[in-house]
Amino acid sequence: MVPNCYLIDLDGTIWIGERLIPGADRFVAWLTASKKRFRFITNNSSSSASAYVSKLRRLGIVCQEDAVFTSTEATLRYLRDKEIESVFPLGTPSFVDQLVNAGVTISDAANCVVVAFDKTLTYEKADHAFQLLQSGAEFIATHPDVLCPIEGGYSLDCGAILAMLESASGRKAKVLGKPNAEFVRLALEEMDASPSEAVIVGDRVYTDMRMGINSGIKTALVLSGETKKTDTLPFAVNYIVRDIGQLPQALESDSGAAPHQG
Burial 67-92 (b: 16+ CB within 10 A, else e): bbbbbbbbbbebbeeeebeebbbbbb
Task: Find the farthest-apart pair of alpha carbons in the chain and give their distance in angstroms, rounded.
Answer: 57
What is the average pLDDT across 15-30? 94
Residue 149 binned pLDDT confidence (cut-offs 50, 70, 90): confident
State the pLDDT at residue 259.
54
Residue 114 binned pLDDT confidence (cut-offs 50, 70, 90): very high
For residue 262, is pLDDT > 60?
A: no
What are residue 32's DSSP bridge partners?
none
Residue 257 binned pLDDT confidence (cut-offs 50, 70, 90): very low
Rounded to two decimals, what is the model's pTM?
Answer: 0.83
Domain 73-175 in the same topology as domain 5-43+178-253: yes
Q: Is it true that domain 5-43+178-253 has CATH number 3.40.50.920?
A: no
The CA R_g of the chain, rounded to the nearest whole Å, is 18
For residue 261, is pLDDT > 70?
A: no
Choices 3.50.50.60, 3.40.309.10, 3.40.50.1820, 3.40.50.1000: CATH for 73-175: 3.40.50.1000
For residue 105, is pLDDT > 70?
A: yes
* CA gap 83, 148 in Å, rounded: 31
What is the average pLDDT across 225-240? 91
Q: Are 209 and 202 in contact (CB under 8 A)?
A: yes
pLDDT in tens, 155-189: 899 999 999 999 999 999 999 989 999 899 989 98
State the pLDDT at residue 222.
96
Cβ atoms < 10 Å from Cβ of 246: 21
What are residue 86's DSSP bridge partners?
105
- Domain assignments of the chain as residue spans, ordered by start: 5-43+178-253, 73-175
Q: Count the residues in the chain.
A: 262
Q: How far apart are the first and last CA of the chain?
A: 24
Cβ atoms < 10 Å from Cβ of 213: 17
State the pLDDT at residue 141.
96
**DSSP letter string, 193-239:** --GGGEEEEES-IIIIIHHHHHHT-EEEEESSSS--TTPPPSS-BSE
State the pLDDT at residue 154.
85
What is the amino acid identity at position 86?
Answer: S
pLDDT in tens, 187-197: 998 889 999 99
